[in-house]
A and B are shown apart, each in its own frame.
Chain A
């Protein structure tokens, strides 16, 4: 999943567009979904944002669906939690009810309505977030946070973390292949032992890598801060018009329906 999102974020049609523009649209849609809180707004946002990702950003539909499905476990479990109500007395307005010992498990119109609300709101907001992460590499988002006056130290930590994630992930994959080739995951006990080895060796690898980086930086005159060249972006005027259209249609839908 990490590799997929990262690859498409670097290779889509909106790659060069200013992250402030893409971030503004995504955040605007998320806030509208959460603030207006109408099923129709959520569903329209879902259609708009999936359409934008596929049609304007040229991300394959398959990828968009996979990414949206990544959180389906949380969504499915928690929506079930919203639909089902529990209580000690027999619920009056329940559509269905089932007794488990002294506890009544029931489903009512009200709870179905809440679940529909939350489901549509979540899908709309999540598809807006997915539009952002599928069209914008993390380095651009960090650059956006820097422009928003996030403390320099946090920005530096984020950049280091982003770089280190891929280094460590590569190490992790090599170690996993080596362990699997030696039947390291053949049983529950072996899996536990191999995972522990992986965890501790990864910690050591992280520590040694950070020391190696320190040495390399010191050799090049490291004085306490890491400086990188600023990136240049283009402003997409057509995207502003589309953004205006999205915001207008969502607000109108929330107002009228």
Chain B
């Protein structure tokens, strides 16, 4: 009897994850984190905001018109996340755009722009939240871009171009996914197995949507970078991106 109920619950999980409408499944919802954890993630993220803001301030002082480009860059990231991406399991999901953004604009600038995008996603499309903004910003606007950027700078010129871009974008998504699972596990440890079990649990649940997404976004980012090299070489040079063939 009880066994049957569990099978029903497991079936429901599979149904929701596979049949779901395109989902921004990893934005932690408003009110989901207890107060201490919400504050903790704000405290962790604020240093990145300060450094990123200083950098943007310097850019804006040197070239006043650069702020227009930064505004459009944030809007580009926002609109890119509205794309429906087919994922390998057949359902579809939204790209995060953090990998591409970090390659194009650098991780510190991206931590500010990404946070603006997350705030706008909370306020314009009801995904994410205000008290959970710190946690979401840390996983999506700090960890993701930094992972992408480190791989990009570490591998560009050493490995083939497509592999570098693919790894940067896909691993940025995976890092975001692991970080969010960790945030959820820390806030809500498993009553039986503690934080570790909770981490495995949330990781397993979200793996169904996030691992296919990482692969899809990796492929998409490679295609976008290839297309940009052929049709936007001048723009890429204006941004002074290292390692891009022109």
Contacts and interface: CB of A to CB of B under 8 A. Distances in A.
A230 to B, nearest CB: 20
B234 to A, nearest CB: 9
B2 A97 contact: yes
A67 B220 contact: no
Contacts of B47: none
Interface string B173-204: 00000000000100010111100011011100
A68 to B, nearest CB: 8
Interface residues of B, number: 89
Given A126-B30, A204-B232, A224-B64, A1 B125 contact: yes
Interface of chain A: mostly helix, strand, loop or mixed: helix
Contacts of A44: none
Nearest to B104: A203
Contacts, number: 282
Given A74-B26, A77-B206, A158-B116, A172 B76 contact: no
B127 A165 contact: no
A47 interface: no
Size range of the interface on A? Answer: 35 or more
Nearest to A185: B86
A224 B62 CA distance: 10
B214 interface: no
B73 interface: yes
Interface in B147-185: 184
Interface in B88-104: 100, 104
Contact of B131 (A68, A106, A124, A125): A125
B65 A214 contact: yes
B68 A210 contact: yes
Interface stretch (A52-60, A188-196, A232-240, A242-250): A188-196
B78 interface: yes
A2 B125 contact: yes
B46 interface: no
Interface string A179-204: 00000000010011101111111111
A75 B105 CA distance: 33
15 contacts: A5-B126, A31-B131, A71-B127, A73-B25, A96-B6, A97-B6, A129-B30, A132-B123, A133-B123, A156-B67, A169-B82, A200-B227, A204-B231, A204-B232, A207-B235
Given A172-B82, A207-B72, 16 more contacts: A35-B35, A71-B126, A74-B23, A108-B191, A122-B29, A125-B31, A125-B131, A132-B123, A153-B53, A157-B70, A160-B70, A165-B75, A165-B79, A168-B75, A213-B68, A224-B64
